[in-house]
Amino acid sequence: MGAAMTNTMLKVEGVNKWLGENHVLRGVDIQVRKGEIVCVLGPSGSGKSTLLRCINHLDPVDGGVIEVAGERIGYELRGGVLYEQHERAVAKARQHIGMVFQHFNLFGNMTALENVVYGPVKILKRPRKQSVDKAEKLLALVGMSERADAYPSQLSGGQQQRVAIARALAMEPRLMMFDEPTSALDPELVGEVLTTMRKVAEEGMTMLVVTHEIGFAREVADRVVFMDQGRVLEDGPARDVLDNPRHDRTAAFLRRVR
């Protein structure tokens, strides 16, 4: 709980992760302060998505420390030894970490509104009426009020992603993680999702965004992290990294993406 006193929202220190034979994360260090917006760039296979999945312990790490708001995720220290937490405790920690997926993953059997209401009512055990009011406000924020009663299959990809953002926000997360939120979208639908993410950023949310949208990173991000082959190559203010990359590989990547 010590770090909660400072304003560090996310601390990733020396994180290692193997997927089978693959050493996907090789000692990753990233810090995100409260209210900061950090974009993670990098070629596919560089470990960006795995990092996000490790942060909320969807995939357990093989080494290193991950703390959100000063709380260690997935493990607890007892007598100098790290123990994996009980599933219930991990699930509770995840409540405070919002996650938006590349493929939206809206619950297919629920309407847009039910998707947003589900977490607060079924997991946080809030009263339904209050949760519905709040969900309606969130749907308004993401511009989806008119389609509140539609099922995901009746929505476009961009609309689904905006509902997914509202669903994550409904849990009042301390940190919002976006895993390539626009990569699965038709080009003409990317704009509406980025606009929504900009709105969320303006609300003061702490955000960690894995993306290929350099324009978004330049405009919205406080810091940009560049990852390659499981390592952080660059970490600095957006303009510095994007305009004056120190590494050849960053420069090469940026040239290709642009």
- 31 or 95, CB closer to another protein? 95
- 186 or 243, CB closer to another protein? 186
Residues 72-131 that bind another protein (CB under 8 A): 87-88, 90-92, 94-95, 97-99, 101, 103-111, 118-119, 122-124
In angstroms, rounded to a whole number, what is the distance separating the alpha carbons of residues 133 and 172?
Answer: 14
- 12 or 112, CB closer to another protein? 112
Residue 116: enclosing H or E segment and its boundaries? helix 112-118
- 51 or 242, CB closer to another protein? 51
Least gap, CB of 195 to another protein (angstroms): 6
- Residue 183 binds to another protein (criterion: CB under 8 A): no
Residue 159: enclosing H or E segment and its boundaries? helix 157-169
In angstroms, rounded to a whole number, what is the distance separating the alpha carbons of residues 141 and 134?
Answer: 11
> CB of 242 within 8 A of CB of 213?
no
Spatial CA neighbour of 154 closest among 111, 102, 104: 111
Residue from 151, 174, 183, 240 touching another protein (CB under 8 A): that is 151
In angstroms, rounded to a whole number, what is the distance separating the alpha carbons of residues 72 and 17?
Answer: 17
Calculate Rg over the CA atoms of the chain: 18
Interface mask toward another protein for 34-73; x: CB under 8 A: -------------------x--x-x---------------
- 56 or 250, CB closer to another protein? 56
**What 3 state SS string does 38-64 have?**
EEEECCCCCCHHHHHHHHCCCCCCCEE
- 3-state SS assignment for residue 233: strand
- 167 or 223, CB closer to another protein? 167
CB atoms within 10 A of CB 136: 17
Span from 64-72, 165-173, 213-221, 223-231 in contact with another protein (CB under 8 A):
165-173
Binding site for another protein (CB under 8 A): 53, 56, 58, 87-88, 90-92, 94-95, 97-99, 101, 103-111, 118-119, 122-124, 143-144, 146-147, 149-156, 158-159, 162, 164, 167-168, 171, 188-189, 191-192, 195-196
